[in-house]
């Protein structure tokens, strides 16, 4: 089945139908949840929803709910909450990155301005809080802790590694908070509101954190290897911002004298289009790209290993298929 651009293999006809129906309902609720009496607010808040996306987080929430009662109405609300949180961060990310494109469309800061983009992200976070209160105090606590981790991860990315800290270890810690935390919460809340056991909730949370990191690491590879026509995003955005992602961190570990020119460029000003293009070209040919793909494979394998504690249900096979997808999308 292909859901929001994710080419998952068919696992079970009943599961496929339930997941597709649930995500269609999530899509409707996303649009309804950002509606405002002010037309302009509705327009800006709907901008990235209309642009689409993988809906990876709602998918995890819906799949995790299969270990309880997937028809529980709170499951859809949970899926809406985690996707709105994710979309809110994208508005803020695009301001920090000065990204001109998001999901193949002009980013909000490009179409309007930074102020509108920031306030729209704030509006979405407010809507998240409003919806979450209806799901009960435990969910409010989980959502608040997740938001804290998201911000903490972003701040630590901005500050960079402490003196003497291994840059790769620092980066993985950042990803755990900035990316893994919300994906883990997606699975956790899906299981929680479907009435799954605490043991199941723990397992899918662990899986979500690991597959979330693997997914971001695969994005790191794609960001270097692919073009904007393929991804709908500007390639090498982190390079321009001086943020070292997985391929750069592994390339720097090589210590090869032949990389001196690459390192010199990486240490310089990559806002220059010609230098930026040259760095992308050098990285695409570098052994670090193969190492990065192997790194993604390891994290996907670690995520898959957690699934052995789950009951043998079609949803378990679907989660395992996600591990394969994360690896295959890096090419």
| Global pTM value | 0.90
pLDDT at 239: 86
* Angstrom distance (rounded) from CA 295 to CA 286: 15
pLDDT at 5: 55
Q: Enumerate domains of the chain plus CATH numbers.
A: 2-328 (1.10.600.10)
pLDDT at 171: 96
* Angstrom distance (rounded) from CA 44 to CA 206: 34
pLDDT at 291: 96
* Angstrom distance (rounded) from CA 255 to CA 136: 52
* CB-CB contact of 327 with 218 (8 Å): yes
The 3-class SS string of the chain reads CEECCEECCCCCHHHHHHHHHHHHHHHHHHHHHCCCCCHHHHHHHHHHHHCCCCCHHHHHHHHHHHHCCCCCHHHHHHHHHHHHHHHHHHHHHHHHHCCCEECCEECHHHHCCHHHHHHHHHHHHHHHHHHHHCCCHHHHHHHHHHHHHHHHHHHHHHHCCCCCCCHHHHHHHHHHHHHHHHHHHHHHHHHHHCCCCHHHHHHHHHHHHHHHHHHHHHHHHHHHHCCHHHHCCCCCHHHHCCCCCHHHHHHHHHCCHHHHHHHHHHCCCCCCHHHHHHHHHHHHCCCHHHHHHHHHHHHHHHHHHHHHHCCCCHHHHHHHHHHHHHHHCCC
* Angstrom distance (rounded) from CA 250 to CA 108: 33
pLDDT at 233: 64
Q: Which residues pair with 102 in a beta bridge?
A: 105
- Residue 213 is encoded by which pair of tokens? 């990191």
- Residue 45 is encoded by which pair of tokens? 């808040």
- Burial-class residue 322 by CB neighbours within 10 Å (0-12, 13-18, 19+): buried
pLDDT at 59: 95
Q: Give how far Cα 168 sits from Cα of 49, 92, 217, 258, Å.
A: 33, 24, 12, 21
> Smallest Cα–Cα separation from 173: which of 221, 216, 115, 135?
216
pLDDT at 11: 79
pLDDT at 232: 58
Mean pLDDT by 10 residues, the chain (331 residues): 61 90 95 92 87 89 97 96 94 78 75 88 94 96 97 92 94 96 98 98 98 94 78 75 91 88 92 91 95 96 97 95 89 66
- Residue 47 is encoded by which pair of tokens? 């901008």
Q: Which residues pair with 105 in a beta bridge?
A: 102
Over the Cα atoms of the chain, what is R_g? 20
pLDDT at 91: 87
pLDDT at 2: 52
* Angstrom distance (rounded) from CA 88 to CA 99: 15
> Smallest Cα–Cα separation from 168: which of 303, 299, 322?
299
pLDDT at 148: 97
């Amino acid at each position: 089945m292909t859901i929001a651009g994710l080419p998952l293999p068919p696992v079970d006809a009943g599961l496929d139908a339930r997941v597709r129906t649930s995500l269609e309902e999530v899509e409707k609720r996303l649009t309804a949840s950002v509606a405002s009496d002010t037309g302009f607010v509705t327009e800006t808040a709907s901008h990235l929803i209309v642009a689409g996306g993988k809906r990876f987080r709602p998918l995890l929430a819906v799949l995790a709910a299969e270990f309880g009662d997937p028809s529980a109405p709170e499951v859809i609300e949970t899926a809406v909450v985690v996707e709105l949180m994710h979309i809110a961060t994208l508005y803020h990310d695009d301001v920090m990155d000065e990204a001109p494109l998001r999901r193949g469309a002009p980013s909000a800061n490009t179409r309007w301005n930074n102020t509108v983009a920031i306030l729209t992200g704030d509006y979405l976070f407010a809507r998240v809080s409003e919806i979450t209160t209806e799901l009960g105090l435990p969910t409010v606590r989980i959502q608040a802790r997740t938001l804290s981790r998201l911000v903490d991860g972003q701040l630590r990315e901005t500050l960079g590694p402490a003196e003497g800290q291994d840059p790769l270890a620092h980066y993985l810690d950042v990803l755990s908070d900035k990316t893994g935390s919300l994906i883990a919460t997606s699975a956790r809340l899906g299981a929680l509101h479907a009435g799954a056991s605490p043991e199941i909730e723990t397992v899918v949370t662990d899986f979500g954190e690991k597959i979330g990191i693997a997914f971001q690491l695969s994005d790191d590879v794609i960001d270097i290897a692919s073009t904007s026509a393929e991804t709908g995003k500007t390639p090498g955005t982190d390079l321009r911002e001086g943020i070292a992602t997985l391929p750069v961190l592994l390339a720097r570990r090589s210590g090869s004298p032949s990389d001196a020119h690459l390192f010199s460029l990486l240490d310089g000003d990559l806002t220059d289009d010609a230098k930026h293009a040259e760095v992308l070209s050098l990285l695409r040919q570098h052994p670090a790209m193969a190492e990065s793909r192997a790194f993604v494979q390891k994290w996907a394998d670690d995520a898959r290993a957690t699934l052995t504690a789950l009951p043998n249900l079609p949803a378990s096979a679907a989660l395992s298929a996600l591990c394969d997808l994360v690896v295959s999308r890096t090419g």
